[in-house]
Amino acid sequence: MIIVTGGAGLIGSAVVHRLNQLGREDILVVDHLEHSDKWRNLAPLRFMDYMEKDDFEARLDAGSLQRKPLRGAGGVEAVLHLGACSATTETDASYLAKNNFEYTRKLALVALETNARFIYASSAATYGNGENGFEDEEQDLPRLRPLNAYGYSKQLFDLWALRHGLLGKIAGLKYFNVFGPNEQHKGEMRSLVLKAYEQIMESGTLRLFKSHRPDYADGEQVRDFIYVMDAAAATVHFLINRQANGIFNIGGGGTVSWNRLATAVFSAMGRPVNIHYIDMPESIRDTYQYRTCAETAKLRAAGFSEEISTVEEGVRDYIQNYLMPGKRLGGLGWFSGTVEAFKKQRIWHTRRFYEDTISAPRFPPWKRGVSIPPQLLPAEAGAGVVVDHAHRLHEGIADGAANKGKAAPPQVAAYAIGERGTGRHLR
């Protein structure tokens, strides 16, 4: 069994969705649904059980992690601890210390005691204003100075794990600015993409904070954005690769200005760009981050090789395939926009697209070279697809002349989409 805390949240539900696409349903989702509509994020997902956070913590205290039914027939394989209070404006430091630090510490110790893989969400907020850089090296942790109580509550656990020698046994993921489906419940903490979409739908304009520093023009403050699909893929990478331990940045690895992000939103909505700059509230001016940028070399060195979508690709997919049709992640939602091109079938053994066989523009980057669900076989309308163990693409079946006869990695079963529906075996 895989335990996912915060499983109804933005990143948590995307991770559960990713696990579903890999054929995993032996999942215990832990969250606190309260009066929000966060439950809607769970409705399309497949998991074995749900438990409220307080009930789960009580069972944790009672030692129930080692016993059925919490344990499940196969035992607890991993704990993906993604639940937290993520409000950067929260001022109750005692609450944050208890909820974000003490709870994480307790869960980490139980996971290690039961030999379960432990992966937890840290945060880019631990980097503060960035004066000490954004490198995810463990020896740099004591030098970081978060700007708010939320960031400090996250750093508390990073430092505790470091000082107790546990970072060589667990993985801490510092998520940067994540956006995407299933964030409607986040209130003021929802991404600018969603806020911008709502503002533009209502008034046709978008309000952005003015810069209060002479070295940044209005709207040219920059962040490192990452689409939630990519963040989920990186998270599951550490579930599969247990030898990859330590602190890792989860971000796009580059900077994007608010103006560029806003332009991407207007473009995805088919609207002309119309931005109004407003004064930043004095209450946040002193703690406002003007630049974040994830150093991702360590993530890549840990074996994560999937392509990260650009902000334009992520925004377009989010708005056109989720916000506009009012969809949530789940079911066939990952393949949103091309669901009609898929049919339920059993596939053979390996479940990976051969990266160069999918070239149509509507197939986004996270669809190339990533695992697909065990019950889905991709097929264009009228096109035949045959899966084989062969290590080469049969000439003429690949989608486009550039792919003909290309060698596929031995461990990968190629899925070729034939333009003329030849249906020939790959050999």
What are the DSSP calls for 41-61, one per residue?
Answer: HHTT---SEEEEHHHHHHHHH
For residue 331, what pLDDT is reported?
Answer: 55
For residue 66, what pLDDT is reported?
Answer: 58
Determine whether the annotation assigns residue 188 to a binding site.
yes
Which DSSP category does 63 fall into? T
Determine whether the annotation assigns residue 406 to a binding site.
no
Which tokens hold the place of 123?
Answer: 């945060």
Burial (CB count within 10 angstroms: exposed 0-12, middle 13-18, buried 19+), residue 16: buried
Cβ atoms within 10 Å, residue 349: 8
C-alpha torsion sign, points 233, 236, 242, 245: positive
For residue 65, what pLDDT is reported?
Answer: 67
In DSSP terms, 27 is beta-bridged to: 2
Which tokens hold the place of 36?
Answer: 């929000």
Q: Tell me how far the alpha carbon of residue 29 is from its chain's centroid.
A: 16
For residue 409, what pLDDT is reported?
Answer: 34
In DSSP terms, 208 is beta-bridged to: 277
For residue 289, what pLDDT is reported?
Answer: 84
Determine whether the annotation assigns residue 309 to a binding site.
no
Determine whether the annotation assigns residue 11 to a binding site.
yes
The whole-angstrom separation of Cα 233 and Cα 303 is 12
Q: Which CATH number fits domain 2-323: 3.30.420.40, 1.10.1060.10, 3.40.50.720, 3.30.310.50?
A: 3.40.50.720
Which DSSP category does 416 fall into? -
Which tokens hold the place of 67?
Answer: 């016993």
Which DSSP category does 287 fall into? T
Helix H, strand E, coil C: the string for 82-147 is CCCCCCCCCCCHHHHHHHHHHHHHHHHHHHHHCCCEEEEEEEHHHHCCCCCCCCCCHHHHHHCCCC
Which tokens hold the place of 224?
Answer: 């490192």
Determine whether the annotation assigns residue 178 to a binding site.
yes
Q: Delimit the domains of the chain by residue range.
A: 2-323, 338-427
Determine whether the annotation assigns residue 81 to a binding site.
no
Comparing C-alpha atoms, which of 359, 378, 267 is closest to residue 317? Answer: 267
Determine whether the annotation assigns residue 20 to a binding site.
no
Residues classed as catalytic: 150, 186
Cβ atoms within 10 Å, residue 207: 13
The whole-angstrom separation of Cα 412 and Cα 391 is 8
The whole-angstrom separation of Cα 162 and Cα 354 is 39
For residue 349, what pLDDT is reported?
Answer: 24
Is 26 in contact with 2 (CB distance < 8 Å)?
A: yes
For residue 408, what pLDDT is reported?
Answer: 35
Determine whether the annotation assigns residue 389 to a binding site.
no
DSSP string, 161-199: HHHTT-TTTSEEEEE-EEE-SS-GGGGGGS-HHHHHHHH
Which tokens hold the place of 352?
Answer: 């990976």
Which tokens hold the place of 43?
Answer: 């409705």
Q: Is the pTM of this model over 0.95?
A: no
pLDDT in tens, the chain (427 residues): 999 999 999 999 999 999 999 999 999 999 999 888 899 999 999 999 999 999 999 998 888 765 544 444 468 999 999 999 888 878 889 999 999 999 999 999 999 999 999 999 999 999 998 989 999 999 999 999 998 999 999 999 999 999 999 999 999 999 999 999 999 999 989 999 999 999 999 999 999 999 999 999 999 999 999 999 999 999 999 999 999 999 999 999 999 999 999 999 999 999 999 999 999 999 888 888 899 999 999 999 999 999 999 999 999 999 999 999 999 998 544 333 333 333 332 222 223 333 333 333 333 443 444 333 333 333 332 333 333 322 223 333 333 333 334 443 333 333 332 222 223 222 2
